[in-house]
Amino acid sequence: MGATLHVCITCRAGLKPAEGAPCAGARVHEAINALAVPEGVTVKPVECLSACKNGPSIALTGPGRWSYIYGPVGEDDAAVILEGAAAYAGTSDGIVPWRERPALFRKNVIARLPAMEANS
Amino acid sequence: MGATLHVCITCRAGLKPAEGAPCAGARVHEAINALAVPEGVTVKPVECLSACKNGPSIALTGPGRWSYIYGPVGEDDAAVILEGAAAYAGTSDGIVPWRERPALFRKNVIARLPAMEANS
């Protein structure tokens, strides 16, 4: 089963966007959608991951896997985010070996959560 | 189905505990376990929620519900944490009305994640 890459599309990252311009989170989402999404990864927009202090933020989830939340990320990080998402999708438990994680993910982790299956 | 309250038991909150003394996260876990856990809530220790910059941290998860991560929390917050966990367990989607959330949860949210069922 695949992984889901959630992208917060409402994050303003503390800035008011120019009138009519997309906010910072929406720009990250657009940049990701402009690239080829790796097999096994589904991109889903989400309204607010409540990580506003560290936004824009993204999250990786998947059945049986630890979930990870990352931020801040920017539109220039789109390719790296998808690379990290592909590595995550390739695991069974969500735990990518440290050295194989993109530097962005190593540095900008906000939090992680145990697999839901183990919780309920 | 019930809610799970995950408590990070490895958080040092940036401090080295005295030799033989429990770390900050373990003390939060002990304080919670010393109280009556509300019906529908299961307390589970977890090793690192990767929210170290905002630790000690806790998380609330449950089938079909948004997950929430909070921090920093302290051992004096144990009763309030259980009160918030009970309110969370009483919802079907994990979203407790803003005014009914403990001030600790309103102020110290680190992030939230959509329900796993909606992801996969």
DSSP A4-60: EEEEESS--TT-PPPTTPPPHHHHHHHHHHTSPPPTTEEEEEES--S-GGG-S-EEE
B111·A57 Cβ contact <8 A: yes
Q: At what angle do helices B78-89 and B24-33 cross, to 10 degrees?
A: 70
CA distance A108 to B101: 28
Q: Is B4 on the interface with A (CB under 8 A)?
A: yes
Closest Cβ opposite residue B113 in set A69, A109, A120: A69
The per-residue pLDDT for B118 is 45
Residue from B72, B74, B97, B75 nearest B84 by CA: B97
Q: Is A110 on the interface with B (CB under 8 A)?
A: yes
B119·A57 Cβ contact <8 A: no
Instruction: Give A60-108 pLDDT, tens digit per residue.
Output: 999 999 999 999 999 999 999 999 999 999 999 999 999 999 999 999 9
- The mean pLDDT value for B103-111 works out to 97
Q: Is A21 on the interface with B (CB under 8 A)?
A: no
- Tokens at B101, concatenated: 């959330």
- The mean pLDDT value for B50-68 works out to 94
A120·B6 Cβ contact <8 A: no
- Nearest-CA distance A51 → chain B (Å): 5
Instruction: Give A46-63 pLDDT, tens digit per residue.
Output: 999 999 999 999 999 999
CA distance B47 to B52: 11
0.90 cut: is pTM over it? yes
Q: How much is the ipTM here? A: 0.90
Give the best residue of A4, A54, A67 to mutate against chain B (max B CB count within 10 A): A67
What percent of chain B has pLDDT above 90? 82
CB B49 within 8 A of CB B57: yes
Instruction: Give B14-53 pLDDT, tens digit per residue.
Output: 888 788 889 999 999 999 999 999 999 999 999 999 999 9
User: Chain A contacts of B63, Cβ < 8 Å?
Assistant: 116, 120
Q: Is B44 on the interface with A (CB under 8 A)?
A: yes
B111·A1 Cβ contact <8 A: no
How buried is residue B110: exposed, middle or buried, by Cβ count under 10 Å (0-12/13-18/19+)?
A: buried
pLDDT at residue B87 is higher than 60:
yes
